[in-house]
Structure 1
Amino acid sequence: MTIKYYILCVIFLSSYLQLAWLVNPGFRTAITEKGFEYIVQVGLPILEAQLNNIKIPDQHGDYHSPIGKIHWDLTDIHMGSITIPKAAIKTGTAGLTVSASGISLSGGGAHWHYKTNVIFPISDSGSADIGTSGTSLSVTVKIGKDAKGHATLSSSACQFSIGSLSIHFHGGASWLYNLFDSEIESAIKSSLNGQICEQATQAINTQGNKALESLPVQVNIDETALVDYSIVQDPIFTTQYMETEHKGEFFSRTKPHEASISPVVLPGVGSPTRMLYIWLTTYIANTAGIVYDEAGELKTTITPDEVPSSIPIKLNTASFKVIIPALYNKYPNMNMTLLLQATTPPVMTVNPKGVNVTVFGDVDVCVYDSKNNNKITPAFNLSVIVYTNISLSVKEEGNTPYVIGKANFIGAKFSLTYSSIGNFDAKLLQGAVNFLCQAYVIKELNKYGAAGLEIPLIDGVQLINPEIKFGTGYITIDTDINYKPSEEIRARTDEVEIVI
């Protein structure tokens, strides 16, 4: 019984850990109601353009008047202009609800015609102008994800209401067409009420999904690595924000596999005051370290010709004659080479005070043995731990924001792990080790840090006054945004005719 209970506990714990693995994101965003309100106002012209040039089907009817039956036709009905003065957005558990009121629709150039055969044939024709007032529209949008982690958008509910509709006829006998103008108004109003939601939701779905297509799921960093930003679960909606959780993991482009580490648990969003919040966990950087380490990228060889002439210490045993006499005595006046390589992936840690990266590596010191055809011979090996802190900032390049880092050297600890020249006091190498760390290890870190990590955003979104803050195991970027729809999205609104 005890063994069975133990096994059940292990199974339960394993399932829990697997679930936590799936849920905890490496990258998270939250766009607030304030952010959505801004995007809606910027997007109103696009929605107006999509709903302009509405063509209503031709209307026909028979009106039984005191003088007999009158057959009427209203054709070529175009609502050529729609104006949405303002819109509001609310976030809730069902998704996003965009509502607009005070909408006005207007159109001219419709052709009317009537005829009657009461005593003798009477017919007439002319043009008509149509307008609405007190019109409102409300659309609820659901944002989810597909099987590949792409964001998806769909409209789940829509309400459209016309307060009043008026028709102004031009030409013909006004006393006659005034008899049945209310019937025509009712027919047009019914047509609009019944079908315009379909066009509004189609416009929102089309443009919304087009915008979401620009949200990157995978970003190629270089020939070695890519970062996976796929959405790991459906977005979470509250009354204050929409939250999206992303994988946020580096993968090898040639031999991808899941990392053996997992992301930290991120805190709640809290009470947001900015438009957009972005969380970047150490999981992203540490999986990057794993990928580059496994690819053999975290190593470099330093030869004598690579040491700048301004540096007094040269890679020759003569430069170490005083510090390590045994090296010079065994290999007098011989050139040296250094192999610096990571022994395990670098580790990034973040706490409220800042960001640190610790590098674990070896320094193999070798000589060109002139007595043996310049064969490279190991002299000694140092195990080194390099401590750095990282300064972070956000830069924009080609309308794409990046988080970039600059490493600053704190110090290094090292120990002698191998020697072919006998024991010596390795502490005397502290200055040389510090120089190596600053000149080469920090340089390598800054190579990756300067390239930066792309922040995945919809095309046209720019960060305004981003502020970086530190937590335990993560950083946040609190920012407002500027949105300028891409030319492709704007082009799709041109010359659109909507037939209902």
Structure 2
Amino acid sequence: MPPITVYLILIFTLFIPQNPTSADQSFISILINQNGLNFVKNLLITKAISSLIPTPLSQIEKVVRIPVIGKVRIVLSDIMLYRVNVGSSDVRPGISGISIAGSDVTSGMSVNWHYSYGSWVGPITISDNGTAAIEIPLLPPQCSASDWWVAKGNVGSAGSIFLFLGSPEGTLTLSNSEDSFGLIVFFGKMANNNGKFSRHVILHDVSGMEIGSLLSLDYEEGSMKLSVMECNCLIHYISVHLKGGASWLYQGIVDAFKDEIISAVEKAFIKKLKSEVSKLASVLQTLPKQIPVVNKVSLNVTFVNNPFLSDTSLGFEINGLFIDSKSNTVQYHNHLQPPVSCSDPSKMIGFALDEAVFESAFTFYYNAMFMHWIVDKVPEQNLLNTAGWRFIIPQLYKKYPNADMNLNISLSEPPLVQISSRNIAATVFADLIIDVLKTDETIPVICISLLMSGTGTVQIIGNNLSGHVKLDGFTMSLKWSKIGTLHMLLIQPMIRTMIKTVLLPYANAKLGIGFPLPIINGFMLQNAEIISTQSRITVCSDVSYEESFESRRIRIYTS
């Protein structure tokens, strides 16, 4: 699966239709909280910046009229965007879609310039060339102050109103141009747009460049369709630093090329942002609808219904049942009630798994004959020889003296799981057959039915939800015997020993592997906590990201 364009994906809790089939219901809900959305947003910005730098821009050429000199042909070439810094950013889900915005964005470009014009004294062409640095700065080029920092507002057109706060130092000078302020409110006092104030000034949201996009995320035939509804880039100011050239050249370049440079950079950012969203959309469309678990058993991760969007979270519901290679015909009752609830709201992501998920897992493991074991090695190996049973089942030893044995263990029906706020209770039904091994055959001798009750715990290992069970108690009965009646009370201690030393360790080894939670490749759960409530288990976790391509870690932008 492609590595990073993989950010925005995971998520949430929806409404359930009346009388649905299991295939239409959700049994796993996923919720990405604000911290998780910020993490994904930062990851997306990191990727966008890394793919944007360096970006060449097209050559710009113009003939401009310079006072006294006349017509001058000016060419800007080898324009290279080489630096982008994002000061702050935000992501907000809502009814209209998912908005991602970046502000206080600065960037730097390198450029070669060349100009030429004809001399009025004869057929002589005067030319020069050099380099320049073009910056998208935080501060407006008309303004200067000894100490600036930026906070809220909107600068850029005459007639705007701005509130300035600060300490009585420094100077702010506002020029009388269409890009300067129209009216300034300064602690209740007013001044026109060419006033001067001896103050440190706080401007806000008016600096650098602003980038924003509005994305839609819709359910489409078991997948999620991501599309761009709006995408904008607004540059407030640029500054040009020439190396060499005549004194008139600076203003000539600014006057002639300002709009073209701004337009070219804005288009480059918009194109790159749309490209990254398009890559992510492709990944979402190609996400697998099943996660293989073992052999022909898989976890159904088909999306169900549209995502759920609130002011601070984004959520999805997926089917979440275990299925085999054939269609799933088993019906389950859904206990899940949205939303996913985490005791620690700072956790990035939450998974809520309905009891039916575990029921479906045990059902398909049972149907696929994965709950059938032949045991020929145990810690107390004498238990696998009739001599070890001669005082407990003397007729077994008498009929088969010093014969080796196998334990043939199989579940007679799928285990039952009940999840509550107190514990996770499991009930297991099994048949234990004692086989005697002859030279050329295996002889089933005794079959004992077991009903075992236990208490389970779950934990996160990697991205897998794994389990462990301990024995609370068991009952047993003789199902059939080829060697006559048995004294079950005498056998019970031996059976208990075999359950604790053979069956439980084997079962816990399998449960310890667990099954994968539906999380995209490259993301890893961290510091997970597990909450059990009535009929469901909730996993709340932070996440980290490691780019799988060439096993590189990427440094994630933070705002």
- Evaluate the alpha carbon distance shift between residue 394 and residue 125 of structure 1 in structure 2; reply closer, same or farther with a 3 A threshold: same
**416-425 vs 136-145, which moves further:** 416-425
- Evaluate the alpha carbon distance shift between residue 94 and residue 270 of structure 1 in structure 2; reply closer, same or farther with a 3 A threshold: farther
Secondary structure at 1:108 match in 2 = strand
Secondary structure at 1:357 match in 2 = strand
2:418 is aligned with 1:414: no
Alignment-derived partner of residue 386 in structure 2: 316
Amino acid at match of 1:265: L
- Evaluate the alpha carbon distance shift between residue 213 and residue 123 of structure 1 in structure 2; reply closer, same or farther with a 3 A threshold: farther
Alignment-derived partner of residue 545 in structure 2: 483
Q: 2: CA distance between counterparts of 1:32 and 1:355?
A: 27
Q: 1: CA distance between counterparts of 2:89 and 2:268?
A: 20
- Evaluate the alpha carbon distance shift between residue 491 and residue 69 of structure 1 in structure 2; reply closer, same or farther with a 3 A threshold: farther
CA apart distance, 1:96: 2.7
- Evaluate the alpha carbon distance shift between residue 448 and residue 152 of structure 1 in structure 2; reply closer, same or farther with a 3 A threshold: farther
Alignment-derived partner of residue 35 in structure 1: 36
Q: 2: CA distance between counterparts of 1:204 and 1:125?
A: 43
Q: 2: CA distance between counterparts of 1:180 and 1:347?
A: 77
Greater helix share, structure number: 1
Amino acid at match of 2:386: N
Alignment-derived partner of residue 376 in structure 1: 443
Determine which of 411, 418, 437 is the counterpart of 1:342.
411
Q: 2: CA distance between counterparts of 1:54 and 1:329?
A: 84
CA apart distance, 1:159: 1.5
- Evaluate the alpha carbon distance shift between residue 491 and residue 110 of structure 1 in structure 2; reply closer, same or farther with a 3 A threshold: farther
2:314 is aligned with 1:242: yes
Alignment-derived partner of residue 355 in structure 2: 282
Alignment-derived partner of residue 242 in structure 2: 169
Amino acid at match of 2:423: G
2:136 is aligned with 1:132: yes
Q: Deviations over 1:74-126 (max 9, x none)?
A: 22222222221232222223443221111112212322324257664553232
Q: Deviations over 1:423-443 (max 9, x none)?
A: 565344332332232233323
Amino acid at match of 1:221: V
CA apart distance, 1:421: 5.5
Alignment-derived partner of residue 405 in structure 1: 467
Task: Output aligned runs, 1:59-458, within 5 Å.
Answer: 59-64=60-65, 67=68, 68-116=70-118, 120=122, 122-127=125-130, 128-133=132-137, 134-144=208-218, 147=221, 149=222, 153-175=226-248, 178-179=251-252, 181-206=254-279, 208=280, 217-253=289-325, 255=326, 257-270=328-341, 272-302=345-375, 306=377, 308-309=379-380, 315-316=385-386, 319=389, 321=391, 327=395, 331=399, 333=401, 335=403, 338-365=407-434, 376=443, 378-379=445-446, 381-396=447-462, 401-419=463-481, 426-458=488-520
Amino acid at match of 1:141: L
CA apart distance, 1:475: 1.1
* Alpha-carbon contact 1:216-1:456 (below 8 Å) kept: no
CA apart distance, 1:469: 0.9
CA apart distance, 1:185: 1.0
- Evaluate the alpha carbon distance shift between residue 377 and residue 459 of structure 1 in structure 2; reply closer, same or farther with a 3 A threshold: closer
Secondary structure at 2:61 match in 1 = strand
Q: 1: CA distance between counterparts of 2:226 and 2:312?
A: 19
Q: 1: CA distance between counterparts of 2:91 and 2:426?
A: 42
- Evaluate the alpha carbon distance shift between residue 465 and residue 332 of structure 1 in structure 2; reply closer, same or farther with a 3 A threshold: closer
Q: Deviations over 1:270-307 (max 9, x none)?
A: 4733111122333333222222222222223456xx45
CA apart distance, 1:487: 4.3
* Alpha-carbon contact 2:430-2:450 (below 8 Å) kept: yes
Amino acid at match of 1:142: S
- Evaluate the alpha carbon distance shift between residue 83 and residue 451 of structure 1 in structure 2; reply closer, same or farther with a 3 A threshold: same
Q: 2: CA distance between counterparts of 1:490 and 1:334?
A: 60
**How many matched pairs?**
463
Could you tell me the percent identity over the aligned residues?
A: 20
CA apart distance, 1:225: 2.8
Alignment-derived partner of residue 467 in structure 1: 529
Structure 1 gaps, min length 5: 1-14, 494-500
- Evaluate the alpha carbon distance shift between residue 69 and residue 368 of structure 1 in structure 2; reply closer, same or farther with a 3 A threshold: closer
Alignment-derived partner of residue 57 in structure 2: 56
Secondary structure at 1:76 match in 2 = strand
Q: 2: CA distance between counterparts of 1:69 and 1:320?
A: 115
Q: Deviations over 1:32-53 (max 9, x none)?
A: 1112223434554432222222
CA apart distance, 1:344: 0.9
- Evaluate the alpha carbon distance shift between residue 174 and residue 438 of structure 1 in structure 2; reply closer, same or farther with a 3 A threshold: same
- Evaluate the alpha carbon distance shift between residue 215 and residue 457 of structure 1 in structure 2; reply closer, same or farther with a 3 A threshold: farther
CA apart distance, 1:239: 1.2
**76-85 vs 112-121, which moves further:** 112-121
- Evaluate the alpha carbon distance shift between residue 452 and residue 403 of structure 1 in structure 2; reply closer, same or farther with a 3 A threshold: same
Secondary structure at 1:79 match in 2 = strand
Q: 1: CA distance between counterparts of 2:524 and 2:285?
A: 17
Amino acid at match of 2:56: K
Q: Deviations over 1:375-398 (max 9, x none)?
A: 72645x4332111111222223xx
Alignment-derived partner of residue 27 in structure 2: 26
Q: Deviations over 1:341-373 (max 9, x none)?
A: 211112222111122221112233566799xx9
Alignment-derived partner of residue 9 in structure 1: none
Q: 2: CA distance between counterparts of 1:301 and 1:46?
A: 52
Alignment-derived partner of residue 3 in structure 1: none
Structure 2 gaps, min length 5: 1-16, 138-207
Amino acid at match of 2:319: K
CA apart distance, 1:331: 4.0
- Evaluate the alpha carbon distance shift between residue 332 and residue 318 of structure 1 in structure 2; reply closer, same or farther with a 3 A threshold: farther
* Alpha-carbon contact 1:317-1:331 (below 8 Å) kept: no
- Evaluate the alpha carbon distance shift between residue 117 and residue 235 of structure 1 in structure 2; reply closer, same or farther with a 3 A threshold: farther
Q: 2: CA distance between counterparts of 1:178 and 1:102?
A: 25
Secondary structure at 1:82 match in 2 = strand
With the length of structure 2 as denominator, give the TM-score of the two structures: 0.72
* Alpha-carbon contact 1:211-1:459 (below 8 Å) kept: no
